[in-house]
Homo-oligomer: A and B are copies of this chain.
Amino acid sequence: MIVINRKERDKQLRRADILKAAEHVFASKGYYEATIQDIAQKAQYGTGTVYLYFKDKNALYFSLLEEKIRSLTDAIRGRVEEAKGSRKKLEVFIQESLDYFEKNQDFFKLYILEKNSVQLIMSKRIASSAVEYGTEYMEKIISLAQEERVVREDCKPSELTDILVSILGSFVLNWINKESKRAGTLKDKAGLIFNIFLNGVAKK
């Protein structure tokens, strides 16, 4: 029995090796220009090995996306739950998102690329469910904020969510690209983003 568990655990570790390599390769080249060879090499396995753990390239890609999105959402959810009141929840949501993306830059690239292509090109891409899972929770917070009269009511929660997600995205993207001279951490931007989201860019 112990043997089986041990083996099972090792298997999961090797699977994780491949996912990690895939994350990096997909993020730097994009889905189509990333080859299975690239990924296998990065993970230090032979090409064929990848197929022992994933049905095909597509399955590998979506397993990756799905698992990372789940981990992102779960990471954020805990902290937000603790915060009291929609205002505070929003603030924490922003902070935690930034923190997570700062630590998972490769994932961010996949997420932002996928978010648009899923919404646009749809196709067979099953990931939409995972992407939705990611924003669904945000929508609840916004709904709450509307109930508490913190946030304007002339937009649907989903629209407001999209706005916040895009603003967040634009800051993360800027920060990631500015790898040379970066003022501080990404999380430092949280206050600014919160403020812009709530009060806009007008000079007060």
Contact = CB atoms under 8 A, between A and B. Distances in A.
Interface of chain A: mostly helix, strand, loop or mixed: helix
A181 interface: no
Could you say which interface size class chain A belongs to? 35 or more
A151 interface: yes
B150 A162 contact: no
Contact of A170 (B123, B166, B204): B166
Interface string A19-55: 0000000011111110000000000000000000000
A151 B32 CA distance: 41
A153 interface: yes
Contacts of A116: 112-113, 116, 173
B155 A162 contact: no
Contacts of A199: 199-200, 202
Contacts of A75: none
B119 A173 contact: yes
Interface stretch (A5-13, A60-68, A190-198): A190-198
